[in-house]
Structure 1
Amino acid sequence: MKRRDFVQLAGLGAAGAMMIPSALMGKSISAEALLEPGMDIATKKMMSDVALNTAKSLGATYADARIGRYLNQYVFTREDKVQNVVNTESFGIGIRVIANGTWGFASTNDVSPDGIKKATNQAIAIAKANSKIQTEPVELAPVKGHGEVSWKTPIKKDFKDVPVSEKVDLLLKANAAAMENGASYVTTALFLVNEQKYFASTDGSYIDQDVHRIWPYMNVTAIGDGKFKSRQGLSAPMGMGYEYMDGLDSEKIPGPQGTGLNLYRNSYDIVEDAIASAVQAKEMLTAKSVDPGKYDLVLEPNHLGLTIHESVGHPLELDRVLGYEANYAGTSFATLDKWKSGDFNYGSKLVNLVADKTQVGSLGAVGYDDEGVECKKWDLVRDGILVNYQAIRDQVHMIDQNESHGCCYSQSWNDVQFQRMPNVSLESGKEKYSVDDMVSDVEKGIYIAGRGSYSIDQQRYNFQFGGTAFFEIKDGKITNQLNDVAYQSNTQEFWNSCSKICDKDDYRLMGSFFDGKGQPSQVSAVSHGSSTTRFDGVNVINTGRTI
């Protein structure tokens, strides 16, 4: 890491510094500079054609170019202080080619004809060098050129138009509300992202996209009697504009009776959640420690999303199934023979898991992926049976398919695109069924809200998950908060224990802003949707007890 990058990261604040990959930082700019328009589309097309024409003249059978301008604003506060405000910009072009049947990639921040020609030459040279050890030529699924098209996240308020002072005031107001209601410490942050991406390929596509994401983060800690307890905010990162913080489309979903929780969809009331976080963190100080044993679990979407991510999203990435990720993150239990059998029981008949890059409001929503493939929705698990994977243009022939799923992505212009997880979600139940209905049907159970620590093996099979807030269910009613809760299972056993799913009125998204994969490692943003779901007879352990 360069000293400049280290100093910049070190100034972000404790919470933020650990969350932001240095590759996404770019150069520091002013908040006003975020509003500058950048390179116009006509110039992007001209620069892209320089790359494509150069590549073809040097013998490439395929080439694509991605011009990217990545704008980020991060705001960090703690109690009554602003820790840091960071504005960054990263701009450049990445060029990918196939020559001698082999991939090559190079990038540059010199987005001029000379700079692009030099990078394209390097990409071709890399491909030809790689071809000497390539055993089989790259086989691309066909993609029809789209011509000149555009796509934009359907935002109502661009974060770049909102003064930094307004964002700071909102975070400090939330901090004050938490402190006034019993918090000892509180940190809040805003992560705001705008990706301006232009893709061109020798297939005849020129695609301009404007992608927006937002993530409000909060952690509240209460101290008493020599102990401390923390409660994270129940926000979800979203593919939305700043209207997520404004409440322009306010839609609050109350948690089950007895929890005092308010859950959020389409907007987030950070001040209200700060108060609830402080109150519940104080209650945790004296809450009962869970008795280990078998429980029926009622899992709300902000919690279940992480379990979906780890036990469904990752193991059904085809490159992981094929062993390409083994050195970095492991393989997958969901091997090709299970899919080919046509009857592998991933979960109960209620379980329908879908991949969807078009879902409005999700972090992974774009019109086209980074290979120029129009995004879509497809089944992964239908009626409990494994039916498909996630695959891109050079992979789908391996599973006897001829159309990419449209889930190829790169974290920036200077990284090569590769297969990434799309939004993976659990479909809601079809019958009218509320969270209170679900709780009333449970004799001995635990309601879990929010994300917590977890662990899962390298085949994404055996796992353990915690959470943010835990509530005991006895004879159909929420009784009190619990501490030290984690549940253990394996992927197949867990999803086969799914016994009931609430209807679409309870459906919400959870997300990951910085999902890591690959070598060199890259991050991507992805959402997971579900309604509150029940899993019967799951093993719960007490994380506070030692043997």
Structure 2
Amino acid sequence: MSALTAGGFVLPKSFLFGNPVDAMELLNEGMDVGMKKQLSDAALTAARAKGASYADVRIGRYLNQFVSTREKRVQGIANTESFGVGIRVIANGCWGFAASNNVTKENIAKTAERAVAVAKANSKIQANTVQLAPQKGYGEVAWKSPIEKNAFEVPVKDKVDLLMTVNSAAMAGGANFVNSAILAVNEQKYFASTDGSYIDQDVHRLFPTFTVTKIDKASGKFETRKSLSSPVGMGYEYLTPLPNTKVQGIVTRYKDRYDILEDVKNATADVDQKLKAKTVEPGKYDLVLDPSHLWLTIHESVAHPTELDRVLGYEANYAGTSFLTLDKWQSKNFKFGSDIVNIHADKLQKGSLGAVGYDDEGVKTKEWEIIKDGILVNYQAIRDQAHIIGLKESQGCCYAQTWADVQFQRMPNVSLVPGKAKLSVDDMIKNVEKGIYIIGDGSFSIDQQRYNFQFGGQTFYEIKNGKIAGMLKDVAYQANTREFWNSCVAIADESDYRLGGAFNDGKGQPAQSNAVSHGSSTTRFNGVNVINTARKI
């Protein structure tokens, strides 16, 4: 699911898709928006002429930069650009799709005709016709990520220097190994459809990260700690820490901005503690989960199983279908979680990975409830799914990883709503007799219906009689989704709310990846089963 592995860094698929370019070429403005409109009109006209009842065009320019280092050397610098057009149509009641990197009026018309031919071929074997939710045209509109500093305008040398400083700080603190990287993405997407929309969007994302490793020479054992950064829908300003962007407590946590140098120093000290930490005793514990950890549990146990295509069995790649079948939603009283659990989907939240003005089928984005007061009330649906659950319009969560891929339902930001009462992390810990405070995401496992799961983390602090009693290791917790969310007893307020997320979440066949954030405040779950991952059964 993630773009990162524990031992190093792996480029997301979208990086590998593009052609290598010089870093300065990433600053070129690209094709004029007026020309994009002319090309789109050529495609729409050709599709109609061949019998399409609906057509949409996506002209996309995808820019990526990846700077990776290890200890005292640069491992790699990749700058890529991809430019092309994807055309989707409905003809004879069926979908057809075609794409090309030859973006001229003549070829774009031929590509549209090929998409219609695909749709007509599909209609010979497909029993049910597409039911597309109505969508008004918006005319000519634009949206841009509200960034303060374009990451591509920052010289590669400055990024390398920052990462080398990060590595030096880790090595000075006794680290044996350290990897660090900065990933930057810019999606320049133009959408047009027969509904009458011409939408120009400029989307930016950034992910700074590192992993620190120390080895105990006496025992030969090692421990690691990843960064507590979050991939974000922001510019390079994310790496400019501000005084009010830190949440102080047992550990320093980062809200909206990120201090990578402070975090790597803390990480290096944390690894020392992890090497000396006592191993956890299996049993039932109250868990206090930081947003840097809880985002992944939300992603796997809430966001994926509420994707409507998984619910219907249309999608089973990347960990299967869903236990949240339609009958549970239709009952109107399926108790997914405790009364304080409210989970919203949205594509609007500033700074989030999923934030855009319009999705990839021209639907204006919004926010909606998935879990309300613990009850399952909705799913995630796009235009050709909306009618299945009685919606009159799409929820605006359609996405394709590049111009060459057909767009389909992808999760929006799915987040746990903060608690209403003023409640700090310290307030939650002081009421716990036997518990564990977990920071950062780690390894995980979940079954084919997104029901039974196991999650690890980065650092674990034992709670005894309302106080932190030291660090633990070899911790993972097990539960099923419904049992876990019904054990939720406290959620910190808005002041503690933070985003985590995945830069490279996989779905589909052929596989696609998308970037998505999940927000929460620190949350407490009572009586969760904890295992020792180092002990043999």
Where on the TM-score scale, by shorter chain, does this alignment land: which range? Answer: over 0.9
**C-alpha separation between the residues in 1 aligned to 2:356 and 2:339?**
31
**C-alpha separation between the residues in 2 aligned to 1:471 and 1:272?**
20
Q: Which of 306, 313, 327 pairs up with 1:316?
A: 306
In structure 2, the CA distance between the partners of 1:101 and 1:510, relative to structure 1 (3 Å rule), is: same
Is residue 8 of structure 2 the alignment partner of residue 15 of structure 1?
A: yes
Helix, strand or coil at the partner of 2:306: coil
Aligned twin of 1:232? 226
Amino acid at match of 2:126: Q
Q: Which of 118, 127, 138 pairs up with 1:126?
A: 118
In structure 2, the CA distance between the partners of 1:221 and 1:23, relative to structure 1 (3 Å rule), is: closer
Aligned twin of 2:261? 271
**C-alpha separation between the residues in 1 aligned to 2:433 and 2:479?**
21
**C-alpha separation between the residues in 1 aligned to 2:12 and 2:381?**
27
Helix, strand or coil at the partner of 1:279: helix
Aligned twin of 2:132? 140
Q: Do 2:14 and 2:402's aligned partners in 1 also have CA atoms closer than 8 Å?
A: no
Task: Note the C-alpha offset of 1:15.
Answer: 2.4
Helix, strand or coil at the partner of 1:315: helix
**C-alpha separation between the residues in 1 aligned to 2:322 and 2:406?**
23
**C-alpha separation between the residues in 1 aligned to 2:242 and 2:153?**
16
Q: Which ranges in structure 1 are unaligned for 5 or more consecutive residues? A: 1-8
Is residue 430 of structure 2 the alignment partner of residue 440 of structure 1?
A: yes
Aligned twin of 1:352? 342
**C-alpha separation between the residues in 2 aligned to 1:524 and 1:460?**
19
Is residue 73 of structure 2 the alignment partner of residue 81 of structure 1?
A: yes
Is residue 102 of structure 2 the alignment partner of residue 110 of structure 1?
A: yes
**C-alpha separation between the residues in 2 aligned to 1:92 and 1:19?**
21
Q: Which of 495, 517, 530 pairs up with 2:520?
A: 530
Q: Do 2:319 and 2:447's aligned partners in 1 also have CA atoms closer than 8 Å?
A: no
Task: Note the C-alpha offset of 1:205.
Answer: 0.2
Is residue 486 of structure 2 the alignment partner of residue 496 of structure 1?
A: yes
Q: Do 2:211 and 2:227's aligned partners in 1 also have CA atoms closer than 8 Å?
A: yes
In structure 2, the CA distance between the partners of 1:276 and 1:327, relative to structure 1 (3 Å rule), is: closer
Q: Do 2:455 and 2:476's aligned partners in 1 also have CA atoms closer than 8 Å?
A: yes
Is residue 238 of structure 2 the alignment partner of residue 244 of structure 1?
A: yes
Helix, strand or coil at the partner of 1:467: strand
In structure 2, the CA distance between the partners of 1:310 and 1:125, relative to structure 1 (3 Å rule), is: same
**C-alpha separation between the residues in 1 aligned to 2:168 and 2:459?**
22
Matches within 5 A, 1:369-384: 369-384=359-374
Aligned twin of 2:511? 521
Q: Do 2:130 and 2:384's aligned partners in 1 also have CA atoms closer than 8 Å?
A: yes
Q: Which of 357, 371, 396 pairs up with 1:367?
A: 357
Aligned twin of 2:496? 506
Aligned twin of 2:91? 99
Is residue 187 of structure 2 the alignment partner of residue 187 of structure 1?
A: no
**C-alpha separation between the residues in 2 aligned to 1:175 and 1:188?**
7
**C-alpha separation between the residues in 1 aligned to 2:308 and 2:335?**
18
Q: Which of 198, 201, 205 pairs up with 1:206?
A: 198
**C-alpha separation between the residues in 1 aligned to 2:13 and 2:185?**
13
When structure 1 is superposed on structure 2, of 247-256 and 485-494 the one drifting more is: 247-256
Q: Which of 263, 268, 282 pairs up with 2:272?
A: 282
Helix, strand or coil at the partner of 1:275: helix
Task: Note the C-alpha offset of 1:13.
Answer: 13
Q: Do 2:277 and 2:471's aligned partners in 1 also have CA atoms closer than 8 Å?
A: yes
Helix, strand or coil at the partner of 1:366: coil
**C-alpha separation between the residues in 1 aligned to 2:208 and 2:102?**
34
Task: Note the C-alpha offset of 1:121.
Answer: 1.5
Task: Note the C-alpha offset of 1:255.
Answer: 3.3
Is residue 56 of structure 2 the alignment partner of residue 67 of structure 1?
A: no
**C-alpha separation between the residues in 2 aligned to 1:69 and 1:13?**
31
Amino acid at match of 2:8: A
Q: How many residues align?
A: 532
Is residue 243 of structure 2 the alignment partner of residue 254 of structure 1?
A: no
Residues 450-484 of structure 1 show CA distances to partners (whole Å, capped at 9, x for unaligned) of 01000000100000000011000001011111110
Matches within 5 A, 1:289-300: 289-300=279-290
**C-alpha separation between the residues in 2 aligned to 1:198 and 1:255?**
44
When structure 1 is superposed on structure 2, of 39-48 and 20-29 the one drifting more is: 20-29
Helix, strand or coil at the partner of 2:162: helix
Q: Do 2:232 and 2:351's aligned partners in 1 also have CA atoms closer than 8 Å?
A: yes
Q: Do 2:436 and 2:460's aligned partners in 1 also have CA atoms closer than 8 Å?
A: yes
In structure 2, the CA distance between the partners of 1:14 and 1:69, relative to structure 1 (3 Å rule), is: farther
Q: Do 1:329 and 1:517's aligned partners in 2 also have CA atoms closer than 8 Å?
A: no
Q: Which ranges in structure 2 are unaligned for 5 or more consecutive residues? A: none
Helix, strand or coil at the partner of 2:232: coil
Amino acid at match of 1:448: I
Q: Which runs of 4+ in 1 moved over 6 A?
A: none
Task: Note the C-alpha offset of 1:24.
Answer: 4.6
Task: Note the C-alpha offset of 1:329.
Answer: 3.4
**C-alpha separation between the residues in 2 aligned to 1:487 and 1:29?**
45
Amino acid at match of 1:539: N
Aligned twin of 1:48? 40
Matches within 5 A, 1:158-169: 158-169=150-161
**C-alpha separation between the residues in 1 aligned to 2:16 and 2:317?**
24
Helix, strand or coil at the partner of 2:457: coil
**C-alpha separation between the residues in 1 aligned to 2:439 and 2:206?**
21
Amino acid at match of 1:355: A
Helix, strand or coil at the partner of 1:199: strand
Q: Which of 34, 37, 42 pairs up with 2:29?
A: 37
**C-alpha separation between the residues in 2 aligned to 1:92 and 1:445?**
53
Task: Note the C-alpha offset of 1:290.
Answer: 0.1
In structure 2, the CA distance between the partners of 1:129 and 1:117, relative to structure 1 (3 Å rule), is: same
**C-alpha separation between the residues in 1 aligned to 2:363 and 2:15?**
25
Task: Note the C-alpha offset of 1:249.
Answer: 7.6
Helix, strand or coil at the partner of 2:253: strand
In structure 2, the CA distance between the partners of 1:221 and 1:542, relative to structure 1 (3 Å rule), is: same
Amino acid at match of 1:46: Q
Q: Percent identity?
A: 63
Amino acid at match of 2:341: V
Residues 185-224 of structure 1 show CA distances to partners (whole Å, capped at 9, x for unaligned) of 1000001000000000000000000000001111000111
Residues 102-129 of structure 1 show CA distances to partners (whole Å, capped at 9, x for unaligned) of 0000000000012112211211111000
Amino acid at match of 2:231: P
**C-alpha separation between the residues in 2 aligned to 1:116 and 1:211?**
24
Residues 299-336 of structure 1 show CA distances to partners (whole Å, capped at 9, x for unaligned) of 00010000000000000000000001135531110000
Q: Do 1:390 and 1:405's aligned partners in 2 also have CA atoms closer than 8 Å?
A: yes
Task: Note the C-alpha offset of 1:248.
Answer: 5.4
Q: Do 2:178 and 2:210's aligned partners in 1 also have CA atoms closer than 8 Å?
A: yes
Aligned twin of 1:392? 382
Amino acid at match of 2:230: A
What is the RMSD of the two structures over their aligned residues, measured on CA atoms? 1.4
Is residue 456 of structure 2 the alignment partner of residue 466 of structure 1?
A: yes
Aligned twin of 1:4? none
Task: Note the C-alpha offset of 1:14.
Answer: 6.9
Matches within 5 A, 1:412-451: 412-451=402-441
Task: Note the C-alpha offset of 1:19.
Answer: 4.2
Helix, strand or coil at the partner of 1:47: helix
Q: Do 1:13 and 1:84's aligned partners in 2 also have CA atoms closer than 8 Å?
A: no
Task: Note the C-alpha offset of 1:181.
Answer: 1.0
Q: Do 2:309 and 2:315's aligned partners in 1 also have CA atoms closer than 8 Å?
A: yes
**C-alpha separation between the residues in 2 aligned to 1:125 and 1:371?**
20
Helix, strand or coil at the partner of 1:393: coil
**C-alpha separation between the residues in 1 aligned to 2:98 and 2:456?**
41
